[in-house]
Amino acid sequence: MVEKDTTIKELLARNRELQEQLSFYAHELESSDKSLTQLAYYDTLTGLMNRQVFYRTLEHTLTRSRRYGELFAVLAVNLDKFKTINETYGVEGGDSLLKEFSRRLTGALVNNGYIARMGADEFGVLVERVEDIDECAVVAQKINDIMKQPFEVRPGVDIHVTTSVGIATYPTAGQSVEELMKNADAAVAKAKEMGHNGFQYYSEQYDVDARMRLSLEKDLREALEKHEFELHYQPIFDARSRKVVAAEALIRWRHPSQGMIPPFDFIPIAEKSGLIVPIGKWVMSEACAQCVRLRREGFSVPIAVNLSAKQFREKGLRDTVKDILYENNLDPRFLTLELTEGALVHDVERCREILVSLTNIGVQISVDDFGTGYSSLTYLKKFPLHTLKIDKSFVDDVLQENQNQNIVRFIVDLAHNLKLGVVAEGVETEAQYECLRDMGCDKIQGYFFSKPLPEKLLIALLKGQ
């Protein structure tokens, strides 16, 4: 009897042990299911729903809206210049920004619909049962408002970030999920084109513009091979003698069917497509060849060439410049490379290395559009520069006793204290010229003296003076 009782106790203990194990495995299985669900339906970094779930939610909303005649809207939200932020502050800094942005977005739109992370810096917002199209503008403004406070990308490092928002409403901007998403993306692209930190509703004209851009990009890829580009040169005058002392090379595209296409129509396309690098190389080579031709005519006139930010960061830039100078047998002092402030403010140490490598060759470095928003004494002290070019926006109002005039005076004094030359851009009147000359500008550039000229007319101008 004792043995039987012992056996029963052992069986009961074993049963409890098995039940505990089953309970443990059930809990583990439930946790695994939750983890798999999380991976399948949500973005692991931000916790927002992912693209697949957002599309399915859109499908359900579309089906219901067709049945009941409801309106809804899709908003495409992009963080502006996220790639630059990622390059500057690393992946950890970019991730920190994305998580904080997602938290703010969720808080701001908690009653306004569904939010998803669609890509690296791309988010989607679904606003259901829209009564009035103006409701979308209110949501877009909420998104812009959450960007007013800076974001901490590293301990003690705060940056300001903006967003661009594109809005596509059902049924006017699309009858399917794919069409709505495509048109929201087209609208956000337009918002970026309009200057970031804003929103745009989709318009059918965007499709027309997109097709034109694609056609233009196709033609642009062939333009170099077909020798359709040419350079015009805007003379730069000494402020005292009013003599031509340099010239800036400006690209023009003579399209076989559309005629002369201005740079502001094709340069952005070249930037986005990456064609700006080979086009920029051609400009530099042709400008150097032109400089040599001028010297053969007896005119020692340095030529300035604009470098895009993409060109500036391209590996092997120093060797490219050196090779072009060697091929044209041109003294490096006669080539000036112009960069905007925006190309110089990210990764200051790397920029300094590149600039030092270029100035070691012997070329001159000029900062274009100076004073338009990025100006920093830090990089002015660190970088080997030769010239600052005052942006036209300040020159336009230089005759008025206002902040612009004070800014021009400050730039001139700052440049001279740093042993840099100063060029005023966009001078259009005698009064502007005299004012800038009296302020101490060294050189003047603008339509008052001369518009950009083709090679023959530039030579004629030099001979005439």
C-alpha distances in Å from residue 51, one per residue of 56, 91, 120, 366? 9, 21, 11, 45
Which superfamily does 51-202 belong to? Reverse transcriptase/Diguanylate cyclase domain (3.30.70.270)
Mean pLDDT computed over 114-131: 92
Tokens representing 24?
């443990």
Max CA-CA distance within the chain?
129
Return the CATH architecture of domain 213-464.
Alpha-Beta Barrel (3.20)
pLDDT one-digit tens code per residue, 150-191: 999 888 888 989 999 999 999 988 899 999 999 999 999 889
pLDDT digit string, tens, across residues 385-431: 999 999 888 888 888 767 778 888 988 999 999 999 999 999 999 99
In angstroms, the CA 383 to CA 130 distance is 53
Higher pLDDT: 265 or 423? It is 423
The pLDDT tens digits for 95-122 are 999 999 999 999 988 877 899 999 989 9
What residue spans define the domains of the chain? 51-202, 213-464
Work out the mean pLDDT of the chain and round it to a whole number: 87
Question: What number is the average pLDDT over the span 429-444?
Answer: 95
pLDDT tens digit string along 311-335? Answer: 998 889 999 999 999 999 999 999 9
> How far is 65 from 59, CA to CA, in rounded Å?
10
3-class secondary structure, 175: coil
pTM equals: 0.64
Residue 37 clears pLDDT 70, i.e. is over it: no
The DSSP secondary structure of 227-281, one letter per residue, reads T-EEEEEEEEEETTT--EEEEEEEEEEEETTTEEEPHHHHHHHHHHHTTHHHHHH
Strands in 72-79's sheet, in edge-to-edge order, are 114-117, 122-127, 72-79, 163-170, 198-201
Can you tell me the distance from the alpha carbon of 214 to that of 161, in angstroms, rounded to the nearest whole number?
29
